[in-house]
Structure 1
């Protein structure tokens, strides 16, 4: 329960202060001694939809599926070893550009943002 309050729904910020997303879910693993640990933070509509569940959760996943090319919508998975610290936000030790982009973000960039005149000159 403490982990939920400490991580879920916190903003994820890269080392330069740029917004990556929110922690929508947490992935656990078990070490060789059988001790569970946080393996990764999950962000994106697929992670949030699965966490919420029910009709609303299925709707979030369905919308995400609609805005992707491959129809296999998976959350953006950020290995926990990339986390520098957790305070009012989850602060990463890497740059946003070093992370893979989310499937929905790639679709929106290709089909919407890149078509806006001057979008290639926008600061990032």
Structure 2
């Protein structure tokens, strides 16, 4: 598997085909012989900023950390054991409701979108 080609920036969908996000980075773990294995997919602006690096990446990560609840949360991680298959998208074996919500999207919904008249489905 070529991580940069087969995983990074791929759309992630849950078992019902609902979009979850995009793969912004991957988590690697090394075994006793030093062989790497993908153990997790990282999502969200914080993971993306860390992958980009430089001043822009630090700025994106800092904003994402500041807007998470509570502030300073690590990037969203989906264990690689939840991946059912990989083709043009990364398909998960679980429903979206069982996964954590992206902190920036939650903050935007609660503090910006939710304040727009008619935006709530009450």
Coarse TM-score class (shorter-chain normalised)? 0.7 to 0.9
Provide the residue aligned with 1:119 in structure 2.
Answer: 120
SS in 1 for 2:78: strand
Matches within 5 A, 1:90-105: 90-105=90-105
Structure 1, unpaired ranges of 5+: none
Alignment size in residue pairs: 121
Hey, what's the Cα distance between the residues in 1 that align with 2:88 and 2:106?
Answer: 28
Report the aligned-residue RMSD: 2.1
Hey, what's the Cα distance between the residues in 1 that align with 2:77 and 2:60?
Answer: 18
Provide the residue aligned with 2:51 in structure 1.
Answer: 51
Hey, what's the Cα distance between the residues in 2 that align with 1:12 and 1:82?
Answer: 11
SS in 2 for 1:119: coil
Residue 81 of structure 1, CA deviation: 0.5
Please report the TM-score for the alignment, with normalisation by the length of structure 2. Answer: 0.85
SS in 1 for 2:17: coil
Runs of 4+ in 1 over 6 A off after TM superposition: none
Cα–Cα, structure 1 residues 50 and 118, in superposed 2: closer, same or farther, change >3 Å? Answer: closer
Hey, what's the Cα distance between the residues in 1 that align with 2:16 and 2:120?
Answer: 22
SS in 2 for 1:42: strand
Residue 103 of structure 1, CA deviation: 1.6
SS in 2 for 1:120: coil
Provide the residue aligned with 1:77 in structure 2.
Answer: 77
Does the 8 Å contact 2:20/2:96 carry over to 1?
yes
Please report the TM-score for the alignment, with normalisation by the length of structure 1. Answer: 0.84
Hey, what's the Cα distance between the residues in 2 that align with 1:23 and 1:36?
Answer: 18
Cα–Cα, structure 1 residues 87 and 56, in superposed 2: closer, same or farther, change >3 Å? Answer: same
Residue 85 of structure 1, CA deviation: 0.4
